[in-house]
């Protein structure tokens, strides 16, 4: 599922067998190859890459290797828990909506449709987190897609940019978020993709329901 515009930073490299990056928490991200630079790891996908701190990656597995579930780390002692709990996904959605002047129901509905409110969601094509950012798009927006707050902020910022691009036409913006701006331009409107039409309809229904309950 192609999420946020397919613009990747060009990077040179020799084609190699694919592999999986096993992330902290157990999520697995399919990549072409990776390189290490001190405390950073650069992971290549197609013609682009995403760079992150090495601490976010626990292992690399060759494509086709048997899936190994990492052991669950024991819960930290109570004294180690920070005094303020992290914001919930819906709180992050509301904060980003307010910041970029978007309806809260819109950002909440997009987040629900994209990830089911799971910060650890990774799609088969590599879209990451609550707002399902593609690695190249996250890099363009200067966001760490594995950080929930940055993920939601960048997703809402991108959604606001799409609304401005299409003069406030919500369905055009949602179609571009789901299928890419290229598809909207090619069809001069919402592309006739079953997945995209269902995606827009689901978000519109969620928004209508939320607004009717206010």
pLDDT in tens, 93-123: 999 999 999 999 999 999 999 999 999 999 9
H-run or E-run covering 117: none
Compute the distance between CA of residue 118 and CA of residue 132 in angstroms, rounded to an integer: 10
For residue range 22-36, list pLDDT tens digits in order. 776 556 667 888 898
Would you tell me which CATH number, out of the four given (1.10.274.10, 1.20.1250.20, 3.90.1150.10, 1.10.530.10), belongs to the domain 89-212?
Answer: 1.10.530.10
Question: Which residues are known to be catalytic?
Answer: 114
Closest CA to 27 of 59, 2, 4, 52: 59
- Sketch the domain layout of the chain as residue ranges: 89-212
**Which stretch of 11-15, 80-84, 193-197 has the lowest confidence by average pLDDT?**
11-15
Lowest-confidence region among 9-13, 42-46, 51-55: 9-13
Q: Which segments within the chain are labelled E, that is strand?
A: 19-23, 28-31, 33-37, 40-45, 48-53, 57-62
Task: State the greatest distance between any 2 C-alpha atoms of the chain, in Å, as a whole number.
Answer: 57
């Amino acid at each position: 599922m192609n999420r946020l515009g397919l613009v990747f930073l060009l990077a040179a490299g020799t084609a190699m067998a694919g592999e999986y990056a096993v992330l902290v928490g157990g999520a697995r991200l399919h990549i072409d190859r990776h390189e290490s630079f001190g405390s950073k790891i650069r992971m290549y996908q197609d013609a682009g890459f995403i760079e992150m701190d090495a601490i976010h990656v626990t292992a690399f597995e060759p494509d086709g290797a048997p899936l190994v579930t990492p052991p669950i780390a024991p819960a930290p002692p109570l004294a180690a828990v920070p005094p303020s709990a992290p914001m919930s996904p819906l709180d992050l959605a509301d904060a980003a909506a307010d910041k970029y002047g978007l309806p809260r129901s819109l950002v909440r509905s997009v987040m629900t449709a994209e990830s089911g409110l799971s910060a650890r969601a990774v799609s088969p094509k590599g879209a990451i987190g609550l707002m399902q950012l593609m690695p190249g798009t996250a890099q363009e927006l200067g966001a760490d897609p594995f950080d929930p707050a940055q993920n939601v902020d960048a997703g809402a910022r991108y959604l606001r940019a799409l609304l401005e691009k299409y003069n406030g036409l919500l369905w055009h913006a949602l179609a571009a978020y789901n299928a890419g701006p290229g598809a909207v331009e090619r069809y001069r409107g919402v592309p006739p993709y079953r997945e995209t039409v269902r995606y827009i309809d689901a978000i519109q229904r969620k928004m209508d329901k939320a607004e009717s309950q206010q």
